[in-house]
Structure 1
């Protein structure tokens, strides 16, 4: 019963915060739970991130597949200052995502904090929840800084 209540609260937060992704995700899980499809939760938990990242990567690569971007555009996107900074940002983000994944494997209970932070980011800052790995990567980075300062 607690799970249904939390999902209803998340639906409400998603609707009030204008986050269709949060509301839809909570709705899908609530419908699955109420229709005795909760045995698929483990599958979603294990493979959902991979499927989500697959669709995210597909959406990013569409301009290449649809010929919306030519070779000159690609070179400009790599050999310009903004392109360079994007490449550096991509490398750092990928590294941090790996650190976040490692942290969540060791301490899966920290996912609760990531969910709360994502909800605050969606509702208060009108952010887009593209994935918990970057959030976990930033959290791992902050924890390393905290531990370094703490001694």
Structure 2
């Protein structure tokens, strides 16, 4: 059994223990590709384009209530009357900008993905956290690294 296969099985086990459906599905998908011998053809494409695909799917999910009419202009204008809406607006902008830097970090240092995934899995398993994925984690890591470099 190869090291990548064993590593994926370990992550699958952690995902099962943590009851993290996203990790279970992702690892199972990768294991199936490996078992079918499609890993050499598919993994490079997944690695280079997967994050963009994921961001697109998340964006579709966020915009779906607008497309269904569940959220409209009236809701938008009504929400802006609340100070909490302005806080949410600023938070949404901040997290998008933080995640942008996370994308840069993952492209420049893909080996950090392992630590980010492990941190996500541990937070879900031990603290009942929610797995929002490595992109925002990478963005936060990027900011922390820049602050660290600033004070060196």
Unaligned 5+ runs, structure 2: none
Q: Distance in 1 between matches of 2:55 and 2:128?
A: 21
Q: Per-residue deviation at 1:79? A: 3.6
Q: Distance in 2 between matches of 1:102 and 1:143?
A: 13
Deviates more, 1:30-39 or 1:47-56: 47-56
Question: Number of residue pairs matched?
Answer: 150
Q: Distance in 1 between matches of 2:110 and 2:19?
A: 28
Alignment match, 1:75: 77
Unaligned 5+ runs, structure 1: none
Q: Distance in 1 between matches of 2:10 and 2:38?
A: 20
Alignment match, 2:17: 16
TM-score (normalised: structure 1) = 0.90
Deviates more, 1:3-12 or 1:126-135: 126-135
Alignment match, 2:7: 6
Deviations 1:113-134 (A, max 9, x none): 1121111122122223223221
RMSD: 1.5
Partners of 2:124 and 2:131 within 8 A in 1: yes
TM-score (normalised: structure 2) = 0.90
Structure 2 residue matching 1:124: 3-state secondary structure: helix
Deviations 1:18-60 (A, max 9, x none): 1111111111100110110102011111111111111111111
Q: Per-residue deviation at 1:70? A: 3.2
Verify: 1:130 aligned to 2:132, yes or no.
yes
Q: Distance in 2 between matches of 1:22 and 1:48?
A: 15
Q: Distance in 2 between matches of 1:103 and 1:5?
A: 26
CA pair 105-49 structure 1, distance change in 2 beyond 3 A: closer
Q: Distance in 2 between matches of 1:72 and 1:148?
A: 44
Alignment match, 1:99: 101
